[in-house]
């Protein structure tokens, strides 16, 4: 994932210190298929994901990331959930933690292709024949596909089987 300019500017002031960022994950569904992109940096297939720009609405960021990464026009259908990811450290020493806003999106038009250089491929995958997905991408995809009802919110003090 290319680092947005606003983060590069912040890093000039804060160095590698922890940075709290808002991210979006967009699960794009077309019938019984899901859109996945193959990342150029590590070769993993994943959902479309990216950082929300300052002042940008998260749903707009999801639609933008889908178009930028895959050339697909999609409509954001529903908020699936909001989740805090564990802190991480990149190879260059930068530390970050993401608040991820997960959306289910509906394909409108376009054929998937690696549109911005962040990915080497973009393709529709049958839901019953998905490739291995890294980290929580598998969980996020299935949460989005199964979503009905209110958005999900994790709470550290509530057992997982009672969260909604």
Domain ranges of the chain: 18-155
Predicted TM-score (pTM) of this structure = 0.87
**pLDDT of 4:** 81
Q: Give yes or no for a contact between 40 and 116, defined as CB atoms under 8 angstroms apart.
A: no
Q: Where are the alpha helices (DSSP H) in 15-82?
A: 58-70
| Tokens describing residue 102 | 């997960």
- The whole-angstrom separation of Cα 57 and Cα 85 is 20
| Tokens describing residue 87 | 């802190």
pLDDT in single tens digits along all 164 residues of the chain: 578 888 888 888 888 888 999 999 999 999 999 999 999 989 999 999 999 999 999 999 999 999 999 999 999 999 999 999 999 999 999 999 999 999 999 999 999 999 988 899 999 999 999 999 998 999 999 999 998 888 877 777 755 555 55
Alpha-carbon radius of gyration of the chain? 16
Three-state DSSP at 146 gives helix
- CATH number for the domain whose boundaries are 18-155: 3.90.79.10
- The whole-angstrom separation of Cα 140 and Cα 146 is 10
Q: Which of 60, 61, 44, 43 lies closest to 52 in space, CA to CA? A: 61
């Amino acid at each position: 994932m290319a680092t947005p300019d606003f983060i590069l500017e912040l890093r000039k002031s804060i160095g590698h210190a922890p940075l709290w960022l808002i991210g979006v994950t967009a699960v794009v569904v077309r019938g019984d298929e899901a859109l996945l992109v193959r990342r150029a940096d590590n070769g993993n297939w994943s959902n479309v994901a990216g950082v929300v720009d300052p002042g940008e609405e998260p749903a707009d960021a999801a639609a933008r990331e889908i178009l930028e990464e895959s050339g697909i026009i999609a409509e954001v259908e529903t908020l699936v959930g909001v989740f805090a990811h564990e802190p991480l450290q990149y190879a260059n020493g930068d530390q970050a933690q993401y608040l991820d806003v997960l959306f289910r999106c509906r394909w409108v038009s376009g054929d998937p292709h690696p549109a911005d250089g962040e990915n080497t491929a973009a393709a529709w995958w049958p839901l019953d024949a998905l490739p291995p997905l890294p980290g929580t991408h598998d969980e996020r995809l299935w949460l989005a596909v199964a979503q009905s009802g209110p958005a999900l919110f994790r709470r550290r003090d509530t057992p997982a089987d009672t969260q909604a």
